[in-house]
Every structure is written in C-alpha cells, then in structure tokens.
Chains A and B, each alone.
Chain A
Amino acid sequence: MTGNGQGNGRNDSVGTSYVKVDAWERVTGRAEYAADVRTPNALHAKVLRSPHPHAIIKSIDVSRAEQLSGVKAIITSKDFPSMDELKDSFGGELMVNARDLRRMVLADDKVLFDGHGVAAVAATSLEIAEAALDLITVEYEILPVINSTADALKPDAPLLHPDVYTKTLKETPDKPSNLASYVESGWGDVDKGFAEAAVIVERSFDSMMVHQGYLEPQACTARWDNEVCTVWTSTQGTFNGQRMVSTLLQVPLHQVNFVPTEIGGGFGGKIYTLVEPIAMLLARKAGRPVKFVMDRSEVFRATGPGSPQQSTVKVGARKDGTIVAAQGSLVMDAGAFPGAPVAGASMVTFGPYKMEHFKLEAYDVVTNKPRVQAYRAPGGTPAAFGVEVVMDEIAEKLGMDPLEFRKINAVSEGDPSTNGRPLPKVGLKEVLGQVEGSPHWNAPLEGENRGRGLALGFWNGAVAMSSATINVNVDGTVEVVSGHVDLTGTRTTMTQMAADMLQLPPERVSARVTDTASGTYTDVTGGSRTVYTQSQAIYNACESVLNEMKALAADQLKLNEDDIEYADGAFSAKGNPETTLSWDELAGRSRTRGNGPISGYGTSGRLKGAPAFAAHLADVEVDPDTGKVKILRYTCFQDVGKAINPAMVEGQIQGGAVQGLGWALSEYYHYEDGKLRNPTLLDYRMLTALDLPMIDTEIVEVPADDSPYGARGVGEVPIIPPAAAVESAIYRAVGVRMTQLPMTPERVFWALHDDGSEQ
C-alpha cells in the first residue's frame, strides 16, 4: 500500500496526543521493570571484572570462592558450549557475530577492556556473591594497551585479535591487523571537483566514547523449569535476544522464552544479550532461578557504549554556493571487537547535501575499550558534527547566510542519497522553509558573547520486520498483540492506529507486548522505524479482521460480502442502511460461528526506507572567563511524515536533542591508559534540568511514500544536529572553532586563551 498521509479510517484517533496507555502504571510506581521481577528462591549474581584493559588470562582459580557458604554456582567462559566458528551474526542495529558476543559477555583467553567479565557467581545474597568475587584468583599476563584508533593503526601496534583481517570490498590482506574493515562510498571524481571549487574548507575532528545513559541498568532473571528457560529481561528485542542466547548456549529456540519487562530506556544499548547468558548459565548450574542486575559502574564499563570517531571533512563550493565536491574520512572506534557503525555513519555523513563529486572512507578499528553498541543514530552525531561545522564555515567564507547555503544544496526527491540510490519523497526543503519562517530564526539575538547556530541532520530510516495480531473480543473490544517491545509509546501508537483503522474509539482498544512464546515475531525495536513498519503490520492485520467481520456480517444478513460496507462501527447493506449489524453485535455472534472469535495477523512486508531530516537552531552564551557554554534557546525542526501522536513525537525530539547536547558539551568516557576513570553518573555528566531551557519543536509533515500514514521514524534524527548547532553558535558568540567533542568548558577556555602552551 502507498502512503497517503490520511490513514484508512477517519483519523480521529491518529494525529492526536492520545495519552500514553501505560502512563498510569508509571506514575504510580506499578510498572514492572527487570529489576522489579521477583521469583521465589532466586539467587543473586555478581560478575568479576578485569581491572586490566588488555591481558592474557593465564589461570582462574575459583576453588576458594566455591567454599564460601551461600555460593551456589560459579561460571567462566568455559561454561559456554565451545564455538569454533563465528556462528550467526545478529543485527538489531549493529551486527555482531555469536563468538564475539559470547566473548563480550565473558572473556575467553584474553581480557580486552577494563571491566571485561571474567567469572560470575550466584549466591544466596548479593553480599555473599560480592565476597565470593574477592576469593577468585585470576592470574593475568599484562599486555600493552591500545588506547585509541591512532595507537591501533600504528604499523607495529600489538594486535587485539590474531584472526582479524581487514575486510574490504577488494582483496583481503595477508596479515591480521586492528583495522577490521574499510568501506568506501561516493561518486564522481573529488579531485576534479575540488579543482573547480572557489572555496575549500578542510578540517579534522575528534570525539570520545559516550554512553546511551539509559536510567535503568541492565537486569534480568532466568529460571529453568526442567529444559525450558524463562528469561525476564529489559531488552529492545525479545526475539533477537532469544536467538542470541539460543546460539550462545546451544539451546533450541522453543526452550527459551524471553519475557520483556518494562524497559527503562535503551537508545540502542539494550540489543545485545550481555546479562541474560550469565543468569541462564548460573541458573542452570545452580538449579535455581538467578537474578542479575548490573550496577551503574558495570553499565559504564561493560555494556556497549557509543563509538568515538576521528574524522576529516573537506568540502569545496562554487561562488554561487553549490557544493562541487565533498570528501570525508571517518576512523571509528569499535572497542574490543569489530563492528563500529561504519554503515550508518557513512550514510548519515553528507546526507542532507547535493554533491557533484563525493567520496567517503570509513574505518572500523578495534581498541581496548568495551565493544560499542548502537547509540541513537549510530555513528551519526560525530560524523555530522564535522560536516556541519565545515558547511557553516564554507557559508561564512562565501559570505552567505548558513540557512541560504543549506537551501541551495538541500537534497530532494530523486537526488542520489549517500548510498547512491535516489531518494524517495523527503521533506528537507520544507524543514528549511519552516526554519526560515520560524519565530526563533527571526528573533534578534542581542548581548555580548552570544551566538546562534544552525545544523542539519539526516537519518535514512531503518526498515525491519514488524507484526501484530488483532483479536476482537466477543464484547467488541479489541486487543492488539505484538512482540514489539515498547520503548517510548509503541502500545499507545498501536492503540491509536488500530482504533483509527477499525473506526472504533481508542478506549475500546488495548495493546499488549508479549513474550516470545506467545507473541508475534518482530525484529528489534530501534532504528527509528517501529511506528513506520508497525503501522503497515497493523493495517494488514486490521484489513484481515475487517474482511472476516464482513464475511460474518454477510452470512448473518444473508447477503454477499461485496454488498456489505463498514463505517463507524456498523456493517450495513450497501444502499440499504436499515439492514445493519453493529460491530459489537457481530463480535458477539462470532463466538458461535464455529471458528470462534475473529482475529487477524499482519506483517510489515517489505517497505522502502522513509528518510527523515531535521534542522536545529541553538542560541548560546559563552562565559569567556571560564569557557562555559549556556544554552539560551533551542528549537528542533523535523519532518516526521505524519505525527501519529504529536506530544509523543515532540517528547522524542526533545529527548534526542538533549542527548545530543550532552554529547556536545559534557559527556565522555575518560580513559587513562585504558582504565575508565568516570564510571559514575557524577563524573559522566548527563545534562540536568538546570542546564537546559525549554526545547521547542516545530513538526513538519511531508508524508513518506510507503506505509498507511506516511509516518517517518522520529527517534534518531534529533541527536544528530545538536553538537554542530552548538559549535556554530559558539563560533558566532566568541569567534573560535571547536573541533573536539565534547566542547567542555576547559576546551572552550583554552580555545579562547591558548597561548601555545596548553591544550
């Protein structure tokens, strides 16, 4: 079906800010998150983690720990079934092969980052489990630390893995290295392009490892009943997780049931099963349920943070402002195992721009840090940071207004996307038009040390499988059942869309997320695609329901199906509205029809991507004496295709923008020789309410080509522009270009006061 931006029904429940259907549980404290699960007779797990960022494990002696009263099971990587091959790769957002995933959970022969799991204990109390860790003796042979991609790529660098050979589209090298892969994209001849340019700007940029910062630490409980394991967990994808542990533990899928609890934030970081295999192995060994809740320092040290990046961006433009050539190189830090988000970053980097000649190189490099996971628009924020800063500078050199420069170069339908394929219908020009007419853009900004910055963001919109089952109860109420984990409102939008399509009041519809045993298969919730693909699945399920209802109505009214029409909860004979059966009456009659109550199943099928664009405006004030940057005003403009629930769309945009602002100003992993020095929410500084103004949003609706409503994914784009918007604002405020993230007060201070001896 194609998108028309109208939906199928009367649109009275879609496009309104219907209140979140699961809000009541959340404001009363009743919502059950993973750590809230209580299982009788459960043991508590703790993990022994390596203090060394790079070392060979020569031996692990658990004998003393086993003697401690209350200790019921201890595992090391040897408790996993052996795995000689890489086995399956798992997606979600960033691919990982099964062997690497297993080694992320517990180290094999080598520890590869500070905090790498070495052994795990299950005991009758957390205190005993913690005390038992002290009794485990690990003998390490310490190896030199690869702190950065620059260290990793030195010709004589020690290798993290003897079996990693650089993957390229061309030939495989004959020697292993820390460069896991190399990807090149583009078209034309950039050298020729730069030769034609009137203005060229080239700069290098740097960023550091960051964390998704979900408030709920990873947690799960595993319980084996004979051969079947039930796992209650906080995950973005139950089916994905089920498949991961099934492969790691070599247990068939029907013997693992993943039960999703409420999830306290994910942002891409709760896709890999980092806690579940530990709880499952311990529970099997101990013969009792095991609960494993990470503490905050484990979350920082040993989950999957966001990838840092070193980039170089070079752009050339003609006098009229058109971009003639654009070139970039992204060196991305994957952490301990291959798999930095090179694909996502490559796609995002020059996404908003028309370019005659274009070349982008991306490198996936391993270092002694935790293996990265997806973090909201994986790879996009640092990549776009460099590009947008350079675009701002080019506009300045051309004497052009930065918005005017963007308008000249903005992509639209049919232009090649960065992957070379033509873009479907997109709304970048409309977004820029919205900026131009906005109160924020047109408000004067007065005062010393103040500046306004503009930056763009692009996300291609992931596409993956969604599905839903819709059951019509015999009283006419409707249940939407799906395996889609609800991160920030899936149940609400499913309720709205099903109500709209079935032309019923949303109060008569409820939506539930089920476990893998009873739910309908879906891929991971993430990548800004859930509403987009799920809308199609719900449409198809509703269509199936309506067809069955019509068939039943025809049977009951003794008419042909073709003679039945449906509107507003009533099935009636075409041309004879007197002959009618209400939805409820028909639902009641379904009970005795032989086949029982009516239900329908739908999947998303194959949809095109629905790319989304955003522009952000930031007003800042810089304290030149301290380097501190204060955000005075902030507005996000975004094409969302169709806002199914405008308040929830605004909320996602605001949240994404603020994560981006934290990345811009204060968040980073502080490593000293491979050891993480700030694994706390005190020193890993996520912004507080006091650091921010209200975040204004202006929603633009250019419906996507595909899907019933033309709704585009919302979640990823808003994290992309903030860093560059703030940088451009700082530049206009105090005249210094910042090229490193985060732009901490100290960095801004030295940029302003550098006498050559600092920084």
Chain B
Amino acid sequence: MKVPVRFSVNGDDRDLYIGAHKTLMEVLRDDLELTGTKEGCGNGNCGACTINLDGKAVNACLILGVEADGHEVQTIEGVSEDGTLHPLQQAFIEESALQCGFCTPGFIMSAKVFLEQNPSPSEQEIRTAIAGNLCRCTGYDKIVRAIQAAAKLA
C-alpha cells in the first residue's frame, strides 16, 4: 500500500508517495537521498539513525515514513546553516571526537536536541543523553568533551 505524505525535512516541504511499510530512515535515505542518517542496527539499539522529529531525538529506523506526515524532521544535513558549521559540529572536529565517523551524525543529532533543552549540563547528564548512541572507536571520552565544549560555545 502506498500512501501520500507531506512533511518538512530540514525546512523544506516534501511531498512523497511511499510504501506504508517503509521506515522513515528508508524514506530519508532512499527517497530523499539524505544518507547522513546511518543504519547501524535497524532496531533502535545503536542510535546511528537519530534524527530530530518535532524537536525530539528519535530513531528513524523505528518510525514509519507515513507517521512523519504533517511533522517536522531535521537530519544531520540540516544542522549547518548556510555553510556554517553548528557549534557542535565545530566542537566534534576540534576535540577529535570522531574516528570512523559512522556514528557521528547520530551523536550530533542527540546532542543538539539535548543542549537545546539543557544548555549547561553536567558530565553525567551528557552521558545519559547520549547513552542511546553507540560509538565503537572513541570510548566516548572525546565525544563527551566535544559536547561540553559546544555547551560553552553556545
């Protein structure tokens, strides 16, 4: 069954006609070619597909594309504005908070929503906020520091 949907992605209204069984991740990656949202597990256990849906961090792999109808989505591609990196993106670069980089978009999406709600968090609060995002390269140390640095910048 195909369903017409309209939702906003990174500020643009998109009209699509999609299979009801397609996840929002598939719609973003395959229909809209926004491949910055990554699939690490497909089951909500790694956070690599974290996106911002109506101001909340969610796993795009556990949402149907049709459920996004009428909602607002932001992906990693929409985080920097007019070519200027977001403070979090800048901090991830400067703090060497990435290695292979596959998990990075998901971390930035989680951290961005989190800092908007909690601009001066403790280390523990940061760790809690990103506990749904797995990273296998960094041991998280530099990621936590990058989020701390971004909080200071903002």
Contact = CB atoms under 8 A, between A and B. Distances in A.
Interface of A: 17, 19-20, 22-33, 35-36, 38, 127, 212-217, 262-267, 293, 295-296, 487-489, 647-648, 650-652, 654-659, 680-682, 686, 688-690, 692, 694-695
A399 to B, nearest CB: 35
Interface string B71-98: 0000111011000010011001111101
Nearest to B85: A27
Contact of B43 (A29, A32, A682, A694): A682
Nearest to B36: A29
28 contacts: A19-B96, A26-B104, A27-B89, A27-B105, A28-B76, A29-B37, A29-B105, A33-B35, A127-B21, A214-B136, A216-B100, A265-B100, A265-B137, A296-B42, A488-B99, A488-B100, A650-B141, A651-B99, A651-B138, A651-B139, A651-B141, A651-B142, A654-B139, A680-B43, A682-B45, A688-B140, A689-B130, A689-B131
Nearest to A35: B39
B134 interface: yes
A722 to B, nearest CB: 10
Contacts of B85: 24, 27-28
A688 B131 contact: yes
Interface residues of B, number: 57
B77 A265 contact: no
B41 to A, nearest CB: 4
Interface string B137-151: 111111110000000
A647 B42 CA distance: 32
A680 B41 contact: yes
A695 B100 contact: no
B101 interface: yes
A485 to B, nearest CB: 11
A694 B140 CA distance: 8
Interface centre among B42, B94, B96, B144 (most CB of A within 10 A): B96
Contacts of A293: 39
Interface of B: 21, 29, 33-43, 45-46, 48, 75-77, 79-80, 85, 88-89, 92-96, 98-105, 108, 123, 126-128, 130-144
Given A215-B135, A695-B141, A20 B80 contact: no
B75 A29 contact: yes
Contact of B144 (A31, A215, A264, A689): A689
A293 B42 CA distance: 12
Contacts of B34: 29
Nearest to B76: A29
For A33, A215, A695, which residue has the most chain B Cβ atoms within 10 angstroms?
A215
A26 B140 contact: no
A295 B144 contact: no
B102 A695 contact: no
A296 B29 CA distance: 18
A403 B20 CA distance: 62
Contact of B36 (A23, A30, A652): A30
Contacts of A19: 93-94, 96
A125 B38 CA distance: 19
Contacts of A654: 138-142
A681 B127 contact: no
A681 B134 contact: yes
A293 B30 CA distance: 14
Given A25-B101, A28-B77, A488-B100, 11 more contacts: A19-B96, A24-B85, A30-B36, A35-B35, A127-B21, A212-B136, A262-B100, A263-B100, A267-B136, A688-B132, A692-B141
Contacts of A216: 38, 40, 100, 102
Nearest first, the 5 A-B pairs at minimum CB distance are: A29-B36, A264-B102, A26-B101, A658-B139, A29-B76
Contacts of B75: 29
A200 B85 CA distance: 60
B27 to A, nearest CB: 14
Contacts of A38: 33
Which residue of B41, B93, B101 has the most chain A CB atoms within 10 A of its CB atom?
A: B101
Given A213-B136, A263-B100, A296-B41, A23 B127 contact: no
Contacts of B41: 296, 680-681
A293, A656, A686: residue with the most chain B Cβ atoms closer than 10 Å = A686
B21 A215 contact: no
Nearest to A645: B96
Nearest to B40: A215
A692 B134 CA distance: 12
A654 to B, nearest CB: 4
Contacts of A695: 139, 141
Nearest to B134: A686
Contacts of A647: 95-96, 142
A267 to B, nearest CB: 7
A755 to B, nearest CB: 35
A714 B1 CA distance: 53
Contacts of A22: 101
A487 B137 CA distance: 10
Contacts of B42: 295-296
A694 B40 contact: no
Contacts of A658: 138-140
Given A32-B35, A658-B139, A27 B93 contact: yes
Nearest to A18: B96
A488 B104 CA distance: 13
B79 to A, nearest CB: 7
A681 B43 contact: yes
Contact of A33 (B102, B132, B138): B102
Contacts of B126: 689
B136 A215 contact: yes
Contact of B39 (A17, A217, A488, A686): A217
A653 to B, nearest CB: 8
B101 A648 contact: no
A655 B139 contact: yes
A23 B93 contact: yes
Nearest to A692: B140
A651 B136 contact: no
B96 A296 contact: no
Nearest to B95: A647
Contact of B80 (A28, A487, A488, A659): A28
B94 A692 contact: no
A694 B144 contact: yes
B32 to A, nearest CB: 12
A694 B100 contact: no
A656 B135 CA distance: 12
Nearest to A24: B93
A655 B138 contact: yes
A26 B42 CA distance: 20
Contacts of A296: 40-43, 45-46
A214 B40 CA distance: 9
A690 B127 contact: yes
A86 B109 CA distance: 49
